[in-house]
Amino acid sequence: MTTLPEKTTRKLGLVIDLDTCVGCHACVVSCKGWNTENYGAALSDQNPYGADPSGTFLNRVHSYEVQPLATSTMPHPAAQLVHFPKSCLHCEDAPCVTVCPTGASYKRVEDGIVLVNETDCIGCGLCAWACPYGARELDAAEGVMKKCTLCVDRIYNENLPEVDREPACVRTCPAGARHFGDFADPESNVSKLTAERGGMDLMPEQGTKPVNQYLPPRPKDQLDQPKPVGEIDILAPFLAPVMDEPKGFLGWLDKALEKI
């Protein structure tokens, strides 16, 4: 119902490193703080001190337990915990835009940011239904759809020092797990990180062509890999005893001290 631009000049977005994200929620709250104060309506909170507090957030961190399958080299793999920050991925083929009946949802030509023009939003919620990632939230107080703006009011903001012209979530991330840049530029930090670390689309089968990329966790628990039968454990030489019990130790010690 609302058309997307044929192409955008830049493709601004985030790289989120799942290998490094410790799940601290710093990005969640920094985002809430900046965006309740800035772009559009406040991010309201219902029942904030009551039984079922529920507010609007543009970015949330979910935690998933992963149980790797047993293999011949890892018969008893330990379960893992992956922290997964999620916000709008500013898709190239954004279904939330095309579904919008009023044109309130749109994708910017110059940088690809997907925004909601709150004056035109009727709060029908179709975009939230259309988004396969659950990245949009209808603000219960204002009745308009809220979503990540990629801090469009920070990244170009001439009232901020240049170093601060990045999304609030990126600026605050203590672990450095969030990176901001232009995916249209192959030399940008985000393009390079994506290439080096095998950055992935989230749910590519949905055909949304998300701009944001996720870096997968590196393989874990390599110390649990038992030594393959018939092969030498590469760490084994370091464990070779240099002596027998205490008496032998003193002999070794004397010899070793001579070499210092």
Partner 1 sequence: MTHHQPKIDTSPKVSDEIRKTTCYMCACRCGINVHLKGGKVSYIEGNRDHPVNKGVLCAKGSAGIMQVNAPSRLRAPLKRVGPRGSGEYEEISWDEALEMATDWLAPIREKHPEKLAFFTGRDQSQSFTSLWAQSFGTPNYAAHGGFCSVNMAAAGIYTMGGAFWEFGQPDWDHTKLFMIFGVAEDHDSNPIKMGIGKIKARGAKVIGVNPIRSGYNAVADDWVGITPGTDGLFILSLVHVLIKSGKIDLDYLSRFTNAPVLLNGDETSPEFGLFLRDDDGKPLVIDRNTGKLAAFDTPGIRPDLSATHRAAGVTHRPVMHHMAERYLDPQYAPEAVAERCGITPEKIHRIAAEIARVAFDEAITLDHEWTDFRGEKHATMTGRPVSFHAMRGISAHSNGFQTCRALHVLQILLGTVEVPGGFRFKPPYPKPVSAHPKPHCKVTPGAPLDGPHLGYAQGPDDLCLAEDGSAARIDKAYTWENPMSAHGLMHMVISNAHAGDPYKIDTLFMYMANMSWNSSMNTGGVIKMLTDKDENGDYVIPRIIYSDAYSSEMVAYADLILPDTTYLERHDCISLLDRPICEADAAADAIRWPVIEPDRDVRGFQSVLCDLGARLGLPAFTNADGGQKYADYADYITSHERRPGIGPLAGFRGAAGDEAGRGAPNPDQLDRYIENGGFFVNHIPEGANYYKPWNTAYQDWAVGMGIYDAPQPYIFDLYVEPLRKFQLAAEGHGERQPPDHLRERIKATLDPLPIWYPPFEDDHVDTAEFPVHALTQRPMAMYHSWGSQNAWLRQIHGHNPLYLPTKLWEKNGFADGDWARVTSAHGEITVPVAHMAALNENTIWTWNAIGKRKGAWALSEDAPEATKGFLLNHLIHELLPPKGDGLRWSNSDPVTGQAAWFDLRVKVEKTDAPTESQPAMKPLKSPVPQGPDHLEWKVGK
33 versus 186: smaller Cβ distance to partner 1:
33
Burial of 201 (0-12, 13-18, 19+ CB in 10 A): middle
Alpha-carbon distances, residue 12 vs 92, 166, 211, 212, 246 (angstroms): 11, 11, 7, 8, 64
- At which residue do the structure tokens 């590196």 appear? 218
Binding segment toward partner 1, per CB under 8 A, in 87-95, 125-133, 174-182, 199-207: 174-182
Query: CB of residue 76 vs partner 1: minimum separation in angstroms?
Result: 9
Q: Which of 143, 176, 198, 204 binds partner 1 (CB under 8 A)?
A: 176
Per CB under 8 A, does 43 bind partner 1? yes
Per CB under 8 A, does 53 bind partner 1? yes
Per CB under 8 A, does 50 bind partner 1? yes
Q: Tell me the per-residue interface mask from 90 to 109 with partner 1, x by CB under 8 A, - otherwise.
A: ----------xxxx--xxxx
| Helix or strand run (H / E) with residue 106 | strand 105-107
Please answer whether residues 86 and 133 qualify as being in contact, where contact means their C-beta atoms are separated by less than 8 angstroms.
yes
Per CB under 8 A, does 1 bind partner 1? yes
Query: CB of residue 205 vs partner 1: minimum separation in angstroms?
Result: 26
* Window 184-213: residues binding partner 1 (CB under 8 A): none
Nearest to 2 by CA among 148, 100, 138: 100
DSSP strand E in 32-75: where?
45-46, 54-55, 59-66
Q: Which of 3, 9, 73, 189 binds partner 1 (CB under 8 A)?
A: 3
69 versus 235: smaller Cβ distance to partner 1:
235
Report which DSSP code applies to 54. E
* Window 114-173: residues binding partner 1 (CB under 8 A): 115, 117, 119, 141-142, 152-153, 155-160, 163, 168, 171-173
Binding segment toward partner 1, per CB under 8 A, in 32-40, 124-132, 180-188, 204-212: 32-40
Alpha carbon distance 163, 155 (integer Å): 10
